[in-house]
Amino acid sequence: MKFRFASVVLLATVLMWTACKNDDDDSMGDDTLYERLGGTEMVSDPANPGQMIEEGRLAIRSVVDSSIFVIAADPDLLGFFAPLLAELSGGNTSNLAALSKNFTDFLSVEAGAQNASYTGMNMSDAHDPSTNPRMAMTADDGDFDNFIAAIVTGANQNNVSANLIAELGVILEDSRSDVVQE
C-alpha cells in the first residue's frame, strides 16, 4: 500500500515537471539569466582541457571573449583599450586574461550566479581615469553604445538567443550612469 502511494506521488511529480518544462522558451519561470544560460551544470571547459566549468559561466565567458575581439577591431573603442592592445602586441597576455575573468565575474554575478563573486573595482572607479590609470579617457554615451553593440555582436557569434541578449543589455544599461562620465 505504501509502495503504491509512493509510486503515485512520484508519477504525479514527474508529470508536473515534464508538463511545466519547456526547453525552447528562454523566458519561462523565475530562473535567473545565469540559469537560462546553462546555470551550474558542469561541462568540460574547451579552453582548459581536463577542467570543468559551469555552463552558465562558460556561456558568459564565451560572449566576453568574442566581444574582446570585436572591441579590438573597432577603431572607435580602441582608445579605451590601447594599453591592453599594446601589451598584447608585446606578448603580455596577463591583463587580457584578467579583463576576461573580471568581466565574466561581473556579468555572472549580475546574471544571478550563486558561485561567482566580483572582486574588481566598482563600475564608477573602474571607468574614471583618475582612479584607474588603465582607463585612458572618460567615456560618453556614444562610446557606451558602441560597447553595447560590441557585446551584442559577441553574443550573436555565440548563438545567444535574442531575448537573452536583451536581458544582458538591461544588465549593461544599468551600469551606464557609472561608466559614462563625460
Partner 1 sequence: MMTRIKKSTRTILLLTIALLSFGTYLYHLPGAIAATGPQIQLSRIDFQEPIDSLSARRVKGAILAVSGVQQTYFNVPDRIVVFSHDPKIVSADAVLQKIQHKFAFQAERFLPDLPKNSSSCPVTGQNSIFVRMGAYLRRTL
- In the complex, the residues that contact partner 1 under the rule CB under 8 A are 48, 65-66, 68-70, 72-75, 78, 82-83, 85-94, 96-97, 133-134, 157
Which of residues 33 and 135 has its CB atom nearest to partner 1 in the complex?
135
Give the CA angle between residues 144, 107, 105 to the nearest 5°. 125
**Residue 123 Cα to chain centre, angstroms:** 15
User: Which grid coordinates are listed for 24?
Assistant: 525552447
What is d(CA 44, CA 173) in angstroms, rounded to the nearest whole number?
31
Residue whose cell numbers read 596577463: 94
Looking up cell 580602441 gives: 78
29 or 83: CB nearest partner 1: 83
State which residue, 88 or 109, has the beta carbon closest to partner 1. Answer: 88
Nearest distance, CB of residue 82 and partner 1, angstroms = 5
Q: From the CB of 150, what's the least distance to partner 1, in Å?
A: 10
Q: How far is the CB of 41 from partner 1 (least distance, A)?
A: 24
Please report which helix (H) or strand (E) contains residue 107, including its range.
helix 94-110
- Residue closest to 46 by CA, chosen among 38, 55, 37: 55
| Cβ proximity to partner 1, 72 vs 171, nearer residue | 72
Closest CB 64 distance from partner 1, rounded Å = 13
Q: Check if the beta carbon of residue 71 is closer than 8 Å to that of residue 148.
A: no
**Closest distance to partner 1 from the beta carbon of 135 (Å):** 11
Q: What are phi and psi of 129, to 5 degrees?
A: -60, -25
Inter-helix orientation angle 75-89/141-157, to 10°: 70
Nearest residue (CB) to partner 1, 32 versus 132 = 132
